[in-house]
A and B are shown apart, each in its own frame.
Chain A
Amino acid sequence: MNIKMMHQSNMAIAINNLEFSWSKEDPPTLLIDNFQVSSGERVFIKGPSGSGKSTLLNLLGGVMTPQRGEIRVLNRVINHLRGADRDTFRADHIGFIFQMFNLIPYLSVVENVLLPLYFSAARRNRVLQRGTALQEATRLLAHLDLDEHELQQRAVTALSTGQQQRVAAARALIGAPEIIIADEPTSSLDADRRGAFIQLLVNECATAGSTLLFVSHDSSLESAFDRTITLCQLNRAASRKQLASIGA
């Protein structure tokens, strides 16, 4: 317990006694007693579809709040913040990548990448210390193998799924947020593209020193990560549900 307290300052994420259900009538979707991620760690969270992975990410992003418990992100108990502060906190400190259709269809590639800077002054300032926002967007896109100028000006709907996911990664990474959360970002990619995408993402997070939470139901991907967590073991609600389905 004491050791845990000591390490608290290095924790990117710390969850205690969390309970969350989507509505009052429903049984809880998440019951997590304790879950921690140190900063800079690359964690793979696996679990079958419907096990509550996306729900957990909504809670970490402060878009939803739990009925009980405490969610600490970068040493702030975010579920005690006001709604608007949670939104600002998310904009400042967390970059998200989702499964598909990550991009705003009416914005160009570069505009999509720059989007978080509009909502977060902190990330904007971090980018502007190094140069212009456009330079940073171009640099990130180049790192993610999207360095053709023509590609960057294209309508996002004219990109392949793999290219779209890399643009989404650039958007999550811009302004170097402390935490990157990826929710099944590879499940719409071909098997041979998955590895390459994950490698790019892991490298970028390592360069920026960001903590990476990577969620997937595909356990073949876990080798690229420091640690694997099985949500069903962590989440008492899931095991309860499984028990219920067995008829116990």
Chain B
Amino acid sequence: MTLIQLILKSILNRKFTVSLTVLTIALSVTLLLGVERLRTESRTSFANTLSGTDLVVGARSGAIQLLLYSIFRMGDATNNVSWQSYQTIINDPRVAWAVPLTLGDSHHGFRVMGTTVSYFTHYRYGGDHALRFTSGAPFSQLYDAVLGSDVAATLGYTLGEEIVIAHGSGNMTLFKHDNKPFTVVGILAKTGTPVDQTVHVTLEGIEAIHVDWQSGSRPLPGLEVSAQQAAQRDLTPRSITAILLGVKAKTTTFKLQRFINEYPQEPLLAILPGVALQALWEMIGVAERALIAISLFVVMVGLTSMVAIIITSLGERRREMAILRSVGARPAHIILLIVGESFALALSGALFGVLLLYALLLVAQPLMAAQLGIYIAIGWPTSAEWQLLGAVLGAGLGVGFVPAYRAYRYSLADGMTIRL
């Protein structure tokens, strides 16, 4: 019989109350680590989504808004960039490459993005990774589509599949462009970015499915234009949603940015994606800190309830302490017994909390990716998370001295005999 066994047996003897305490601590630890995990993982996920692009151009709005809808597929553009402006910009001598993006439609909840083949060569993510095809190739025909890996996996699509694009996105997809199906010609490898959740089609394809749509409403019966007829029309887009730009020389980035921002023909906005992301973090940072602070309070509530429960149990355990004293236990043993119990409860709470966190992450990961385009990596706890866990355990050990001191006082006053 060691002191540790004594502590464990004593805890097991009070399974029910103790398991509720452990659950309280576990939930608070899950919350704390979950908030921390979401915070860091969403940052990494965001930071890994776009690299190698010097400027993102869109209609004039907020820098963060432009970044969110063009790169992260969050929210919608309020305005477009005209085709003329796009032409001017890509013909600017400082521009090395430009990728146009058109958003607005969807397929089974996945965003459909019109672009050009240059997207597959110039888009970079996670440092310097280029897009890779697991099967097929970039589109070559008007009605070709390339799927992000999650789209293909979720919907079970393979090459040759015919897909119909719905008008609008999210829950607003009342109408389908069902007379102009697209054929899957390529499937991209997993990137861990919103690309995985995107259906890529040609700019002209987007134009073609909308030729018979006047001012955003469905064509009247008899006025529909068939897929073949549409292909004969001039499918040059009138406008696009955003442009990704690469410059020839980094030193010209700011000048080019100023040029676009002061473009006289149309109100445009050019942003440096890194700077906009930084602005986003600063905005979110306040909320993040508030969330962390709240979670820390919740952990404190959990530990406080543990102390309350241990103190309540001491009344019944005075006799136990007196018996231990009579067989030779020192007051220090009594203190260790109670502090050990407090630590053991905090430790099991932390362990269950971590397990619960991973269970939740497994459930939340695909949902977050699908709904928010945020990829949470399920890895080992980070050093910051270990620190938080360490702090919880340290606090569990520390607060144990409160009931331990009470037990110590009791046992000094009681000695081996208790007057009840």
Q: Please tell me if A159 contacts chain B, counting CB pairs below 8 Å.
A: no
Can you name 12 extra interface pairs (CB under 8 A) apart from A104-B323, A106-B9, A118-B1?
Answer: A63-B416, A84-B330, A84-B332, A87-B325, A88-B328, A96-B416, A98-B417, A103-B323, A106-B10, A107-B6, A115-B1, A115-B327
Given contacts A104-B320, A106-B10, A106-B13, is CB(A116)–CB(B415) below 8 Å? no
Which listed segment binds B: A32-40, A54-62, A186-194?
A54-62
CA distance A159 to B233 in the complex (A): 96
By Cβ-Cβ distance, the 4 closest A-B pairs, closest first, are A91-B328, A119-B328, A106-B13, A63-B415
- The answer on a CB contact under 8 Å between A116 and B330 is no
Kindly state the interface size class of chain B when it binds its partner.
20 to 34
- The answer on a CB contact under 8 Å between B327 and A91 is yes
**Chain B residues with Cβ under 8 A from A114's Cβ?**
1
Q: Please tell me if B12 contacts chain A, counting CB pairs below 8 Å.
A: yes
In the complex, how many residue pairs between chain A and chain B have their CB atoms under 8 Å apart?
A: 69
Contact with A along B127-151 (1 / 0, CB 8 A): 0000000000000000000000000
CA distance A125 to B333 in the complex (A): 21
Identify 17 residue pairs between A and B in the complex whose beta-carbon atoms are under 8 Å apart, listed by A's number. A58-B417, A61-B415, A83-B331, A92-B328, A96-B416, A98-B326, A102-B323, A104-B320, A105-B13, A105-B320, A107-B6, A111-B1, A116-B327, A118-B3, A119-B329, A120-B328, A183-B417
Instruction: Select one of A61, A83, A107, A118 contacting B326, CB under 8 A.
Output: A61
Instruction: Select one of A54, A88, A105, A171 contacting B417, CB under 8 A.
Output: A54
Q: Please tell me if B2 contacts chain A, counting CB pairs below 8 Å.
A: yes
- The answer on a CB contact under 8 Å between A87 and B326 is no
**Chain A residues with Cβ under 8 A from B10's Cβ?**
106
Q: Please tell me if A90 contacts chain B, counting CB pairs below 8 Å.
A: yes
Q: B interface vs A, CB < 8 Å?
A: 1-3, 6, 9-10, 12-13, 319-320, 323-333, 415-417
CA distance A87 to B331 in the complex (A): 9
Min Cβ gap A221→B in Å is 20
Contact with B along A212-243 (1 / 0, CB 8 A): 00000000000000000000000000000000
Q: Please tell me if A151 contacts chain B, counting CB pairs below 8 Å.
A: no
- The answer on a CB contact under 8 Å between B9 and A63 is no
CA distance A87 to B327 in the complex (A): 9
Q: A84, A88, A90, A117: which has the most chain B beta carbons within 10 Å?
A: A90
**Chain A residues with Cβ under 8 A from B3's Cβ?**
118
**Chain A residues with Cβ under 8 A from B333's Cβ?**
119
Min Cβ gap A109→B in Å is 13
**Chain A residues with Cβ under 8 A from B330's Cβ?**
83-84, 87
**Chain A residues with Cβ under 8 A from B415's Cβ?**
58, 61, 63-64
CA distance A114 to B327 in the complex (A): 10
Kindly state the interface size class of chain A when it binds its partner.
20 to 34
- The answer on a CB contact under 8 Å between A87 and B417 is no
CA distance A106 to B11 in the complex (A): 9
- The answer on a CB contact under 8 Å between A61 and B416 is yes
- Which residues of chain A (30-77) have a CB below 8 Å from chain B? 54, 57-58, 61, 63-64
**Chain A residues with Cβ under 8 A from B326's Cβ?**
61, 63, 90, 96, 98
Q: B9, B326, B416: which has the most chain A beta carbons within 10 Å?
A: B326
- The answer on a CB contact under 8 Å between A104 and B324 is yes
**Chain B residues with Cβ under 8 A from A111's Cβ?**
1, 9
CA distance A111 to B329 in the complex (A): 15
Q: A84, A98, A114: which has the most chain B beta carbons within 10 Å?
A: A98
CA distance A63 to B416 in the complex (A): 7
Nearest-CB residue, chain A, relative to B327: A116
CA distance A106 to B3 in the complex (A): 14
Instruction: Select one of B6, B328, B331, B416 contacting A98, CB under 8 A.
Output: B416
- Which residues of chain A (97-134) have a CB below 8 Å from chain B? 98, 101-107, 111, 114-120
Min Cβ gap B196→A in Å is 54
Min Cβ gap A204→B in Å is 17
**Chain B residues with Cβ under 8 A from A98's Cβ?**
323, 326, 416-417
Nearest-CB residue, chain B, relative to A168: B323
**Chain B residues with Cβ under 8 A from A115's Cβ?**
1, 324, 327
CA distance A61 to B324 in the complex (A): 13
**Chain A residues with Cβ under 8 A from B323's Cβ?**
98, 102-104
- The answer on a CB contact under 8 Å between A118 and B2 is yes
**Chain B residues with Cβ under 8 A from A171's Cβ?**
327
Q: A87, A116, A171: which has the most chain B beta carbons within 10 Å?
A: A87
CA distance A171 to B1 in the complex (A): 14
CA distance A54 to B415 in the complex (A): 10
Min Cβ gap A8→B in Å is 26
- The answer on a CB contact under 8 Å between B329 and A87 is yes
CA distance A64 to B6 in the complex (A): 25
Nearest-CB residue, chain A, relative to B14: A106
**Chain A residues with Cβ under 8 A from B2's Cβ?**
118
- The answer on a CB contact under 8 Å between B9 and A107 is yes
Q: B2, B12, B331: which has the most chain A beta carbons within 10 Å?
A: B331
- The answer on a CB contact under 8 Å between A101 and B328 is no
